[in-house]
Structure 1
Amino acid sequence: MNELRPLSSEECVTLLSSKPVGRLVFTEDAMPAIRPVNFVLDSGGDIVVRVSSQGAIAKLSSEVVAFEADEIDPVTHTGWSVVAVGKAEPIVGINELVELADPAHRPWAPGERARFLRIRVELLSGRLLTLGGALPR
């Protein structure tokens, strides 16, 4: 029997760190916008995304955004979803930029992706739908 339960903060971080892609939710021209982005979690638990210097995401600075990642199995009707909310801030420190430019953090999308944004997570929540309550691996 399937079970739906909230996730602890630690479980949310573990599951987020298992995924390379999530969805950034923000406001563009007074309308909700959602974009898939690849990301990394930094050592402090903040979400870092690498984006183009053009476009709506590049303009984010101190705006409140949401970020969501999930894994859903349509066969077993199980999965999880984690949502983080915080302010998006451009990363400008040279040492941090050099570290983040590591090829291991290469964006999937083609083209220039020279800008980095940090989402300072203020709220973190998640839900797990599973068979018997076991955390997915």
Structure 2
Amino acid sequence: MDTLDDERDALALGEAECLRLLDTAAIGRIAFTEGALPAVQPVTFVRDDREIYVPTHRGSAVAAASRGAVVAFEVDQVDVDTRTGWNVTVVGPSRLITDPAEVCRLDGLGIGPWVPSGAHCYVGVQVRLVRGRRIGPRPATTAGAPGLSSAGAGLPS
């Protein structure tokens, strides 16, 4: 095993931390079903309360697949040199948003489609299931350190 592997650990994140990290990302990935097969696309997005909004155009695969279907949405940040980072996944039902008043409200949140088109709309993903993890340095412990006992609260053994 690589020394780096010995020095890293995975930590499950709570929902509040997951939502905070979600809000720091600029690009996410939406996973949906297309033609009975899994599909994943990178997208721009914004979260407003318990819903994630993805701008798209009416003829897109994401729009076609997101009419009540359960989808997944993922964001991450990774340092490839240290092999550390975090990821957050949200799962929930989706809806296609085409109502002009709601599209106008969402346009006001400052997010635009990755590929501009005339007839844009949004896909909303309800935040139902939230999971995340952080991979980083293993916390320092006194257990097993020379001259220290984990039972002795750091006193010499």
Q: TM-score when scaled to structure 1?
A: 0.88
Check the 8 A contact 2:54/2:123 in 1, yes or no.
yes
Residue by residue over 1:71-123, the C-alpha shift from the partner in whole angstroms, topping out at 9 and shown as x without a partner, is: 11011110001011001102245443212113721223233461111101110
| Deviation at residue 25 of structure 1 after TM alignment | 0.3
Residue in structure 2 matched with residue 45 of structure 1 by the alignment: 50
| Deviation at residue 45 of structure 1 after TM alignment | 2.6
Q: Greater RCO between the two (CA within 8 Å, min separation 6)?
A: 1
Separation of aligned partners in 1, 2:59 and 2:36: 18
Residue in structure 1 matched with residue 89 of structure 2 by the alignment: 83
Separation of aligned partners in 2, 1:92 and 1:109: 17
Check the 8 A contact 1:84/1:123 in 2, yes or no.
yes
Separation of aligned partners in 2, 1:104 and 1:54: 22
Separation of aligned partners in 1, 2:106 and 2:91: 22
Aligned residues: 132
- Which residues of 2 match residues 1-137 of structure 1 at below 5 A? 1-42=7-48, 44-59=49-64, 60-102=66-108, 104-112=110-118, 114-132=120-138
Q: Percent identity between the aligned chains? A: 35
Unmatched 5+ residue regions in structure 2?
Answer: 1-6, 140-157
What is the identity, as a one-letter code, of the residue corresponding to 2:56? Answer: V
Root-mean-square deviation (Å): 1.7
Check the 8 A contact 1:68/1:83 in 2, yes or no.
yes
Higher Rg: 2
Cα–Cα, structure 1 residues 112 and 94, in superposed 2: closer, same or farther, change >3 Å? closer
Check the 8 A contact 2:56/2:114 in 1, yes or no.
no
Moved runs in structure 1, 4+ residues, more than 4 A? none
Query: Aligned with 1:87: secondary structure?
Result: strand
Unmatched 5+ residue regions in structure 1?
Answer: none
Check the 8 A contact 2:44/2:55 in 1, yes or no.
yes
Check the 8 A contact 1:13/1:45 in 2, yes or no.
no
**Bigger mean CA deviation after superposition, 120-129 or 98-107:** 98-107
